[in-house]
Amino acid sequence: DAGVIQSPRHEVTEMGQEVTLRCKPISGHNSLFWYRQTMMRGLELLIYFNNNVPIDDSGMPEDRFSAKMPNASFSTLKIQPSEPRDSAVYFCASSDRGREKLFFGSGTQLSVL
Amino acid sequence: GENVEQHPSTLSVQEGDSAVIKCTYSDSASNYFPWYKQELGKRPQLIIDIRSNVGEKKDQRIAVTLNKTAKHFSLHITETQPEDSAVYFCAAREEKLTFGTGTRLTIIP
């Protein structure tokens, strides 16, 4: 298995632009998580899905952030409009035992200028 | 919600010595405690985990201990090697995983 696949690896955009991050979980995993990592705040859980259904989005910072999981093999995290303070590494992770043993993707390094 | 505190934030040890990283958690209902290692520019990777019905678990040079009464758990790395240099994160799970703030471990050759 190729593991959790995220794209793009790097994204540089200007303030106000829409940003879409993509994730393909490990085949057969039924839980998917979006994390944001910054030096100041560490690893923060933004939202997670079980069986494609959003379970907890309490970590989503603002209405500018939205996430979808239209099927078991694909999820997106969208930021619209983006702001410089959104600059961070965004990780997607998946799990096949509910919420144990997370497998992380390589992350997307987002820079908003 | 769960709150996980981790210390120290940075740790330097001589190659061959042992390293210990400690975490405390707030929610007594938490029942799963993994440790992740993140090398520079890489993804976090699970290195060891423990469940609340176990007090200690060992895997070669790595061990984790859990004290449920005190609500703290620790990572022990023995005979450290340069490749152990990384950031280590603890986490605790009741409903969802909450991560500690990380420990940057540097092994001095």
Cis amide leading into A81 (omega within 30): yes
Taking the CA of residue A104 and the nearest CA in chain B, the distance in Å comes to: 6
Task: Please name the residues in contact with A49: beta carbons below 8 A apart, sequence gap of 6 or more.
Answer: A31, A32, A33, A55, A67, A69, A75
**B101 has pLDDT over 70:** yes
**Nearest partner of A33 among A107, A112, A85, A87, judged by Cα:** A107
Asked if the model's pLDDT at residue B96 lies above 90, the reply is no
Q: What is the pLDDT of residues B11-21, one digit of tens each?
A: 999 999 999 99
Query: Measured between beta carbons, which residues in chain A are less than 8 angstroms from residue B46?
Result: 101-103
CA A26 – CA A9 distance, rounded (Å): 17
Give the pLDDT of residue A99.
Answer: 58
- Please state, for a pLDDT cut of 70, what percent of chain B lies above it: 100
3-class state of residue B44 by DSSP: coil
What's the average model confidence in pLDDT over B50-79?
94
Q: Is the pLDDT of residue B46 over 80?
A: yes
Nearest residue on chain A to B97, judged by CA atoms? Answer: A99
Exposed, middle or buried by CB within 10 Å (0-12, 13-18, 19+), for A81?
middle
Scanning the structure block, which residue is given the tokens 């934030």? B9
Question: Which one of A102, A103, A109 would you mutate to disrupt binding with B, by most B Cβ within 10 Å of its Cβ?
Answer: A102
Residue of B nearest to A34 (CA): B97
